[in-house]
Each structure stands twice: as C-alpha cells, then as structure tokens.
Chains A and B, each alone.
Chain A
Amino acid sequence: MTLRGRGLGFTAGLAVAVVSIQIAASAAHKVFYLTQLTMSAYSMLVVLGLVMLMGYAGQASMGQAGFFAIGGYVAAFLTTFDLAPRRDTLLVALLDRAHLLMTRPDGSGGSVTHIHPWAAALVAIGLAAAIAWIVAGPVFRLRGHYLAMATLGFGIIVHRIFLGSSYFGAADGISDVPALVLLPGFSITGRAASRVSNYYAAWGLVLLTLWMISNLIESRVGRALKALHGSENAAAAVGIPIARFKTQVFILAAVLAALAGVLLTHYNGGIGPSEASVMKSVRYVAIVAVGGMANLRGALVMGTLLTFLSLRGYFGSFDDLVFGGILLAMMLFAPQGIVVGDLWRRLRSTFSGKKRGDDGPAA
C-alpha cells in the first residue's frame, strides 16, 4: 500500500516538475530547452521498456536502438515515399480505396502521395512487434552474455540495413517527414509554434507509460517476470511458461522503442542511421544501469538528465565516451544504480531486526 502511495507521489511530483519546467522556461524566454526535453521524453519510452525487459525480467538487450530505428524508419519511409507513380498497382489502389493515402506538397514545389501517417505509425509499430516476436524465438534460447551478444548482433544488422539501403536514404537517412496529426489543430511536429504542446504531449505519454509499466510490475505478469529472473526453475515449478513471458516482455519493450522512434521521427521531421547505431543501444543500457536496473524512477530521472545534457551538446565530442564510461563505471562500482529507490526499504529491513541469524543452517 505504501509502495503504491509512493508511486503515485513520484508520478505527481514528476507531473509538477514537467509543468514547472515549462513555466520557468517560458518565463525565462528559453523555450528552446523544451525541444531537447521533448526529445528526451521520447527516449525515455525506450528506457521504460528496457527497464521492464532488463531490470525486472533480467533479459539483457543490446539492440533496442534497432527497434527504435525500425519504428522511425518505417514511419519515415511510408510517409515520404511517393506512391503517385504507382497508383495503378493493386496495393496502392486498395490503399486509396481505404482512404489511407494523402497528398501534400513536398519541399521542392511538387507533391507527394503517401500513406497516412497514422496508418504508417501502426504499420511501423506492428512490424517492430512482429520482428521482435520472430527474433525472440532464437535469441531466448540464450542467456546472459550470449543473449546480450545475440541482441547486439540484431542491432548491428538493423543498423547496416538502414545505412546500406538507398530506400532508407543510406547515410543521409530520411528527411521531410510530415507532422503526425493527433487532433484537429494539434500534431507531433518540431515547428516552434507547437513546442509547448508537443512538450506536454511527450511528457504526458511518458507519465502514462510510467503508470502502465508500474501497474504491470505490481501485477501477476510483473511477478512472473521477476520470478523467472530470480530462478527459472522456481518459475517453471509454479507453472509460469518462461519462453512465452520472455517473448511477450521483449515485444513490449520493442513496441515502446518503436513508438518512440515513430514519434521522435515525426517530431524531428526525419531520421538518420545514427539512431540505429550500436552506441545508441549502449546508451539505453547505460541509462537503465545508472537508474538502478529494476528502477523505473531512477532510470527516468537519470535518463532525462543525461539525454538532455547530451542533446544540448554538453558532452561535446565525448558524447559516446560519456555513456560508455558511465556503463563501465556503473558495472564496476555501483551495479545497484545511483538512484536507489528501495534504499529505504533495505535500510529498514536491515535495522528492524527480523531475528536474522538466530538459528543459522544446522548443516
């Protein structure tokens, strides 16, 4: 009960912080900070999924940037690839009949006909989920280091595909991605006029996701994931189908990463291959580690801070080095994380004297 109370307290505190920062930034005429905070928010969706996957279920993934990129690139491709010359093909005709096509002016005076961003977003996220499902089969035959290596390999493959394919703009990536209209008069876009509304939309989504993931952790599913993390033998003994739960949580993390990819791509108006790079995956892992592995709040606070500083360019050309260094330092010195959420609980159980050591094992 107290845990839940504290959880709500944190969410409320975060909401207050989100609002205060906006007011302060607007008052100080520094609204441009909100842009990086919005981008950080989308990164936090990837992080929240990875905390669930890695922190709670204990399954390392070094390939989350791959799922982010699948979401972003597929959305970008589908909303920029001109279908007008292919109007005669059956698929395009069917899409047209289903009112899934739209035409807009492109940057160079002509026009481009493409799939509606909403449909593109659904396809992008659905595809990421399907790929996660397919990849989960072979990779979850592996554990520990081997699982990390396999997911790393997956991330590299995705990165190379986007980097090497001209459909995806090769090294340039895809630009001129249109806004994603959420409501009449409100869309996900990087235009300065919608900076504040986009900031709230992104952080609203983060808060909603935080709430949902927190619920999940407290639920039967969360217990099953923690159980299989703690002991696969014990989890199987109570009837938990381990392979199925690992697959499902992997898909959940992939869907969140892809959702982040879609939204950030619409926000930025494009996506480049660096978003799919292995260093991006390492960055997500470093954030989860610095937050305390199984600690949604720690990851959120530390992740927002680090991502914001990185996006503002505080780390200069040492950007990747900072995140790699953080990961190394965390593993060496503080594998439990810096923001330790359950520190209080641990202290309390240490000092409450639960008759520890009264009667040790009489082996």
Chain B
Amino acid sequence: MDPLLEVRDLGRRFGGLLAVAELSFTVNSGVIKAVIGPNGAGKTTVFNLVSGYALPDTGSVRFRGEEVRGLPAHELAGLGMARTFQQIQLVPGMSVLENVLTGRHRHTRTGFLAGMLRLPGTLRESRAARERCLETLAFLGLADLADAEAVSLPYGQQRLVELARALVCEPSLLLLDEPAAGLNMRETEDLAGTIGRINATGLTVLLVEHDMGLVMNISHEILVLGAGRRVAEGEPRAIQRNPDVIRIYLGEEDAESP
C-alpha cells in the first residue's frame, strides 16, 4: 500500500540559509510520527512545505498518491490535511463553538445567497455542523466551554480548541505543530493521552515537538532533523540510542559515553 504522505528530496533555501535539504521521508497510514531536532533544524519549515504554507524549491510531496507540491494551503485542506499552529490562531470575538465550526467549512455548502436567505437546507446543515462540533468538543473535554470566547481561555484549552477545529475537518492526516508548546506538565500528559485517543480512531498524526517526553511516549516513528537534513529515522527506542542523535542534541563529547 502507498504511504499516506511521501516526501522526496525536499529542499528550501531562505536567502543564504539552507533550511531544508534533500529530505525524504514517508508517513504511513495509522501511525503517529514525530519530527524532532534542535532549534533551527528546519522542523517547522518542513511542516510549512508539506502543508502549503511555503513553496519548496525542489523535491516532491505526494499525499494520498497525488503530487501536491505547490498547492495552496486551502486546497491541501480540501484533500484531507488539517493542521494546528505553534502560535495559536484562534479568531477573537468568536466563541469556542464558532471557532470550531469554521473547521466544518469544506463539509458544508451554504453560499452567500443561501446564507442571506436562511433557507431550510441551510439551517439543517448548520444544525448538523453544530452537533458534529459539540461531539468533538465533548471528546476533548471542552463541552462546557462551547460558548466561552475562545481567545480568553487559558493557553492549554486554546490549544485543544485548535485541535478540535482541525479534527472536525475530518482529515486523513493531522499535522500538529508543537502541540505541547506552552503547556504545563499535567496538560502535556493529558495531551499525550488525547493524541493517543485521536490516533486510535484511525487518524494518522504527524507532529513537530520539542518535548522529548511526549514524543518518546506517543510516537510510533521519529524523524530527527539536524540543519535541515535527516539525521535519523526509526522507532523511539532506536532513536534514543542513536549516537548521531545524541551528538546533535548533546554535543560531540557526550556521544562517546552515552
């Protein structure tokens, strides 16, 4: 079976800086895969290249067997990619539920005319979307907060609202950009459980993360980046013992005596 996501020879340069070079990896259906690496290793750039927020200079990105390199973000979303952001991107002035409802965009049809006239079909569609979003909020333990203003919530809950918005897109690949950034230890543990439950529903997850505990705990596979290139790839335990990985994280000397 084809992998869900197949990245080959990906490259991107920002001025004189080679952010990502000759990077190839695959994400198979059903796994949780993490991309890790020291600061500046190019993790977020890889994410942006894959999800349409930056254009690759070279290489190919195949998603569900289709070449998608260079497609704009909203079209990739239409093909079944959903992502969250390192810097939380919720809409001020909208409730939690309304923010999550924006995630139903591509599963609903109402246009300008139908929206203005409040046609019966529009109302039915809107009710169904609302129910679907409330289910997801309940799944993430946010049911009570549906009517709260999203951006006034604590940080950890805002992250969950972003997650809910991505989930109601019903993606086939969920991209999480540093989901534990800014969370305390307990929230991070809860998040690990949540990502596990999401994965258990059959959803493939690709995440970029700094928190090693979280990554080792939940990932099936790990891709390690250093200076925009692949340093190692494999199961968490193998990665933990990999001398190249230890070297880029801890420096040359420590690699001799792990």
Q: Give the segment of A39-47, A146-154, A216-224 that binds chain B.
A: A216-224
Interface size on B, residues (CB 8 A): 58
Cross-chain contact of A356 among B51, B74, B152, B183 (Cβ < 8 A):
B152
Does B89 lie within 8 Å of A357, measured CB to CB? no
| Count of A-B residue pairs with CB < 8 Å | 140
Tell me the bound Cα distance from A361 to B103 in angstroms.
25
Does A238 lie within 8 Å of B154, measured CB to CB? no
Does B145 lie within 8 Å of A238, measured CB to CB? no
A231 touches B (CB below 8 Å): yes
A233 touches B (CB below 8 Å): yes
Tell me the bound Cα distance from A223 to B104 in angstroms.
10
A90 touches B (CB below 8 Å): no
B158 nearest CB neighbor, chain A only: A361
Query: Which A residues between 174 and 232 are near B, CB-CB below 8 angstroms?
Result: 212-213, 215-216, 219-224, 226-227, 229-231
Does B184 lie within 8 Å of A237, measured CB to CB? no
A219 nearest CB neighbor, chain B only: B115
- Which B residues touch A362, using CB under 8 A? 182-185, 187
A56 nearest CB neighbor, chain B only: B93
The 8 A CB mask of A334-359 against B (1 = contact, 0 = none) is: 00000000100000010000111111
Cross-chain contact of A221 among B106, B111, B149 (Cβ < 8 A):
B111
Q: If the complex has contacts A215-B118, A240-B74, are A354 and B111 also in contact, measured as CB distance less than 8 A?
A: no
Does A237 lie within 8 Å of B115, measured CB to CB? no
A360 touches B (CB below 8 Å): yes
- Which B residues touch A241, using CB under 8 A? 74
A289 touches B (CB below 8 Å): no
Does A359 lie within 8 Å of B111, measured CB to CB? no
B112 touches A (CB below 8 Å): yes
A115 touches B (CB below 8 Å): no
B17 touches A (CB below 8 Å): no
Does A220 lie within 8 Å of B117, measured CB to CB? no
Tell me the bound Cα distance from A220 to B130 in angstroms.
11
Does B154 lie within 8 Å of A359, measured CB to CB? yes
Does A294 lie within 8 Å of B93, measured CB to CB? yes
Q: Give the segment of B61-69, B76-84, B239-247 that binds chain A.
A: B76-84
A331 touches B (CB below 8 Å): no
Does A359 lie within 8 Å of B156, measured CB to CB? yes
A17 touches B (CB below 8 Å): no
Does B85 lie within 8 Å of A239, measured CB to CB? no
Cross-chain contact of A361 among B51, B91, B155 (Cβ < 8 A):
B155
Does A221 lie within 8 Å of B74, measured CB to CB? no
Does B89 lie within 8 Å of A233, measured CB to CB? yes
Cross-chain contact of B126 among A212, A219, A355 (Cβ < 8 A):
A219
A357 nearest CB neighbor, chain B only: B154
A220-B110, A223-B94, A235-B74 known; 17 new pairs, CB 8 Å cut-off, are A222-B115, A227-B91, A227-B94, A233-B53, A234-B102, A236-B52, A236-B73, A237-B82, A238-B103, A238-B105, A239-B78, A248-B112, A252-B112, A354-B148, A359-B156, A361-B183, A362-B182
Sample 8 A-B pairs with CB under 8 A, ordered by A number.
A213-B116, A216-B115, A221-B115, A223-B94, A229-B91, A230-B94, A238-B103, A294-B93
| 3 pairs of A and B residues whose beta carbons are closest in the complex | A230-B91, A219-B115, A239-B77
Residues of B near any A CB (own CB < 8 A): 51-53, 72-75, 77-78, 82-83, 85, 89-94, 98-99, 101-106, 108-112, 114-118, 122, 125-126, 129, 145, 148-149, 152-156, 162, 165-166, 169, 181-185, 187
